[in-house]
Amino acid sequence: MLHYYLPFCFFASKRKKSNKKKNEEIELVKKNTETVKEIDGKISAILDKTASIRNRLNVQYKDSLGFYGKDYQVMTTEEKMNLGNLVNNTKSLSALFNEKVE
């Protein structure tokens, strides 16, 4: 009767180890899924910020085309401010190129 019990214990032990390994793999997949969701949120935030700045920049660029060839010294304060905003938004957009997702 003992010879029937030994193979059963062996397979039960194997199954227990196999289940433990599967549970560990499931936990790793859950952890990786959570990490991917966090990264996806960060990427979405960068994309939203980029689209917002790019849209403002397009409008400002079109509004500033009339300043081409104009002497900066004779521009009004408002025109100078508009050009300054155009430069600042261009710098902000270019800074997003270097932003890293971690």
Number of domains in the chain: 1
Give the global pTM: 0.64
Average pLDDT over residues 85-99: 90
In a domain, 16, yes or no: no
Q: Does 33 fall in a domain?
A: yes
Residue 31 region, left (φ>0) first, then alpha (ψ -120 to 50), else beta?
A: alpha
- Domain of 42, in residue numbers: 21-66+75-102
Q: Is 13 within the bounds of a domain?
A: no
Mean pLDDT of 60-82: 91
Identify the residue with better confidence: 44 or 97: 44
In a domain? residue 52: yes
Q: DSSP labels for 48-65?
A: HHHHHHHHHHHHHHHHHG
Higher-pLDDT residue of 16, 68: 68
Read off the pLDDT band of 81 (50, 70, 90).
Answer: very high
Query: In this predicted model, what pLDDT tens digit does every residue of 21-40 receive, in sequence order?
Result: 888 888 999 999 999 999 99
Q: 15 in a domain, yes or no?
A: no
Q: How confident is the model at residue 1 (pLDDT cuts 50, 70, 90)?
A: very low
